[in-house]
Amino acid sequence: MAVDVELVRKNFHAISPKVDEVMETFFATLFLRYPDVALLFDGVNMQQQHRMLANVLVFVVENLDAMEIASGTLEEMGRRHINYGAEPEHYPAMGECLLHALATVTGEDWNDELESQWAEVYAAISASMIRGAEKATETSATS
């Protein structure tokens, strides 16, 4: 992964006081653009979902320079998300809405470079999570 770690961290630290706004924007956008995905959250404590997603972003940003280590945790998350109904085709929708939320909260400081860097970060997250889900599916198919 050739992410500009400093640029992503600087942006994340700048918007971290507004993390609640990032989460609200993310989920509102996700549910508006992808109502089928909203069904996966039926009956779920959304405050808890906001906190968990925010914690994942913190974890990833803190480990940008050690993503090979972080990928194990992300793969485990991918395995767990199978039980919630997550499918590989949901990941691009999530990424699109996350980038939208980050751009919205960043405001006028958002630019093509930030979008590109965050897109690469999200690509690494989703690749690890999908890999974890695939491994879990393969393991259960052979059991």
57: domain range?
Answer: 5-142
Predicted model pTM = 0.92
Q: Helical H runs in the chain?
A: 5-15, 19-33, 35-38, 46-62, 67-82, 90-106, 112-142
Q: Rounded to an integer, what distance in angstroms lies between the CA atom of residue 57 and that of residue 63?
A: 10
Distance CA 143, CA 66 (A): 33
Domain count across the chain: 1
Flag residues of the chain having pLDDT under 70: 1, 140, 143
Query: Which residue in 23, 75, 29 sits closest to 53, CA to CA?
Result: 23
What pLDDT sits at residue 143?
Answer: 61
| CATH code, domain with 77 | 1.10.490.10
